[in-house]
Structure 1
């Protein structure tokens, strides 16, 4: 895709993630596509945790004080000037049951929705957000471009409200 070289540290903690098929391939393609559209180059590293709603609820409660599961959480890495090796981007966590329910409700494949949420999480690790309409539009445009790079339909096509996955 471009001059980005991603080291993906993938941990499957819980959930039937093998339903994605080539789990590592799906995740690597989505993360790399997000990095490409964001203009990231060089060696980068991303930690990815695939888990279930119970674990996600615990993480969400601990870090955001919200006592319910969510589809994706991102934890950007602190800048590490002079750090040897790949530049750490942060951690992204996906919850299987929430992701699967949303995919069914939105008529998307599990792999396509997982790809979109992972790209969304990677963009958060890069500092993008959706707190304002302008920021949401920028982030959504990047997500749509990233998905197009890997052959996933526009994740926002047909959705009434833009902004937050």
Structure 2
């Protein structure tokens, strides 16, 4: 089982059973990428729009709410557009310290409603998305975005969830 630490700052998250949801998303993501969930460490901050807007301002210079933010433990991004990120290596105690994710209840709920999907399905997607960022995947460059989105779709499919990037999907 993944070493998962969840800090629920916003009590609305309790209704989702975020721990079970996050664990399923993380385990599926890590196994899909041939990483051992049993030695992986991730922290998730489950917050609201006010908190994530502060974090977004502090770390990205964007003082607005967003759905999810990620802070990888190590820089693993690919040098070449569309290339694979650097391999995750274990630290001195054999653990894969991946990093931290913050996720906003308010923005997730708004996006889920707008897309006509359940909050559970949308949050699952965003945890997968955030985890891929921790592993060095990104979507700033076109080929990187294509690679990352393709992996997200594969993982979501393993969980029985629809492709959020298909042409007829509501965004």
Q: Check whether TM > 0.5.
A: yes
Secondary structure at the counterpart of residue 16 of structure 1: helix
User: Quick one: which of 125, 135, 141 aligns to 1:116?
Assistant: 125
1:15-164 alignment runs, 5 A limit: 15-20=11-16, 22-41=17-36, 43-78=39-74, 82-157=91-166, 158-159=168-169
Deviation at 1:150, TM superposition (A): 1.7
**Long gaps (5+) in structure 1:** none
Q: TM-score, normalised by structure 1?
A: 0.87
Q: TM-score, normalised by structure 2?
A: 0.84
Q: Does the 8 Å CA contact 2:115/2:170 hold for their aligned counterparts?
A: no
Secondary structure at the counterpart of residue 131 of structure 2: helix
**Long gaps (5+) in structure 2:** 76-88
Deviation at 1:88, TM superposition (A): 0.6
Q: In structure 2, what is the Cα distance between the partners aligned to 1:97 and 1:87?
A: 30
**1:78-128: per-residue Cα shift (whole Å, max 9, x none)?**
377642142110001100000000000001100000000000000000000
Secondary structure at the counterpart of residue 68 of structure 1: coil
State which drifts further: 29-38 or 72-81: 72-81
* Gap change, CA 1:82 and 1:33, over 3 Å in 2: closer
